[in-house]
Structure 1
Amino acid sequence: MGSSPPEVLDLGVVDAVVLDTDGVITDTSRTHAAAWKRAFDELLRERGRRTGVVLPPFDAVDDYLRYVDGRARADGARAFLDSRGITLDAGGAGDEQGDGTLEALLDRKTRYFLDEVRKHGVRVFASTVTLLRELRRRGAGIAAASASRSCGPVLEAAGVAGDVDVRVDGLDAARLGLPGKPDPALFLEAARRLGVPPGRCALVEDALVGVEAGRRGGFATVVGVDRQARLRGAMLERGAHVVVRDLADVAVVGRRSGTRDPVV
């Protein structure tokens, strides 16, 4: 970072920016991956005890990126379990931890994630906070989007809830029946709430399915964030217009013309 010219985000071209939360605003992707690993590995060990078949544990890097990252929690869980030849009944709200249903697994993962947030707090990426505040200074609309149902507590714990105009998360997706990424529905809802068409919005994402969703949704600029320098080629193939290692590599120019009140 810093040796090459920055990528330019021109507020003469876009009026608003939609940012994914985990991995873009907050450094919580690893926290999510660790919570998924704990929940999946418990299920895999229990399945092995009952069947006598030892199944490979969840890899918090490769399996997380391949099956879970950026997806709605149920979609990601099903994708990983399919890779291990496991199908769970859907279950319902109130299932106990040991019920062996998909809903019980998802609730367990959420508990593990929030436990980590309560114990250790949430780290934000300083360069993202700088970008958010520069966008606000120049009049751009800002939305935080996440497939996670824990987005609200994460933004509050990180101290950046007040830096965004609107939030669309997994709770909204469930309530509105929005399909998960790579469908662009979550991001399109964020743009709608900002009162800005996607063709006048930039999207910032660190997951491949999120980058693809931005392309499908017709966002004016899709910025891929590849912090580990592993996904640049794949992000460009999925539709990213630019790929950066960090948002310090993005320079904001211009100023948004006119104002729109966010839609609640």
Structure 2
Amino acid sequence: MLPFRAAIFDMDGTLTQSTHIWDGVTDRYIEQLGHPLPEHYYQRIQGRTYEQAMAWLIALYGLNKTPGQMVFEQYQMIRNRYCAVPLKPGVLPFLQYLKGEGIPCAVATLADPRVAKEVLGAHGLLPYFAAVVSAVELDDKPKSDPAVFLEAATRLQTPAGDCAVFEDSLLAVETAKGAGFRTAAIADGKNAAQWDRLCALADWALHDYRELIPAAE
């Protein structure tokens, strides 16, 4: 039996192999609007959510758009590819196992809720989640703030200490751990340089979700 009563999953890089999917999208999008991407843009927006980054560009260029509109328009540029990215190894068997054990699950993501639900739906994963919580619904708080995890735990009616948070981001694992959650680090191409630190910090470090399914099952 697993030592938690509820599970909370990030989406990109945790459920889906999609951390690369936004690479270069903002560059192309801003160029289509007639502006260059600002110098050192990605260093300047570190620590911000996607919508916060768009708000910065709106202020910089005086764009007549909302941050949410800009994010969704960029999503439309990659929609087909995004909905077709592979799942992380073992995701579906693990979700099926959790459902069979009566362990409720939620998604906690920085993604626009419309995007998250469409991508999860395209993979047939929505029925496994009792809630999909987006930071966009919580004043766009980044994952340096535990708000999105705490809201997911609330919707699952389970205290943080009885929930496991599955994440590929070192920052998110640190945040969840600091808020009292159990944590599982999920290997991804973009966290290879931080993998040793993730292994030392998280309760579990996984390359395949089936590693957590008891052998007897």
Q: Using structure 2 for the length normalisation, give the TM-score.
A: 0.79
Spell out, residue by residue over 1:26-54, the C-alpha distance to the aligned partner (whole angstroms, 9 max, x if none).
Answer: 222222334334346x3998348xxxxx8
Change in 2 beyond 3 A, CA 1:34/1:161: farther
Unaligned stretches of 5+ in structure 2? none
Which residue does 2:72 correspond to in 1? Answer: 110
CA distance in 1 between partners of 2:195 and 2:53 (Å): 22
Contact 1:25 1:129 in 2 (8 A): no
Change in 2 beyond 3 A, CA 1:203/1:57: closer
Q: Name the amino acid aligned to 1:67.
A: Q
> How much is the aligned-residue C-alpha RMSD, in angstroms?
3.4
| Higher alpha-carbon Rg | 1
Contact 1:18 1:203 in 2 (8 A): yes
Unaligned stretches of 5+ in structure 1? 1-9, 49-53, 82-86, 91-97, 256-264
Q: 1:248 aligns with which of 195, 210, 215?
A: 210
Which residue does 1:125 correspond to in 2? Answer: 88
Query: What percentage of aligned pairs have identical amino acids?
Result: 21
Q: 1:22 aligns with which of 3, 6, 12?
A: 12
Which residue does 2:46 correspond to in 1? Answer: 67
Q: Find out whether 1:89 has 2:54 as its counterpart.
A: no
CA distance in 2 between partners of 1:240 and 1:46 (Å): 42
CA distance in 2 between partners of 1:132 and 1:182 (Å): 26
Which residue does 1:168 correspond to in 2? Answer: 133
Change in 2 beyond 3 A, CA 1:119/1:33: closer
State how 1:80-229 maps to structure 2 within 5 Å: 89=59, 99-100=62-63, 103=66, 107-118=69-80, 121-123=83-85, 124-149=87-112, 150-173=115-138, 177=139, 179-219=141-181, 221-228=182-189, 229=192
Deviates more, 1:118-127 or 1:149-158: 118-127
CA distance in 1 between partners of 2:83 and 2:28 (Å): 19
CA distance in 1 between partners of 2:33 and 2:207 (Å): 34
Q: What is the number of residues matched between the two proteins?
A: 212
Q: Using structure 1 for the length normalisation, give the TM-score.
A: 0.67
Contact 1:182 1:213 in 2 (8 A): yes
CA distance in 2 between partners of 1:163 and 1:144 (Å): 10
Q: Secondary structure at the match of 2:84?
A: coil
Displacement after TM superposition at 1:109 (Å): 3.8
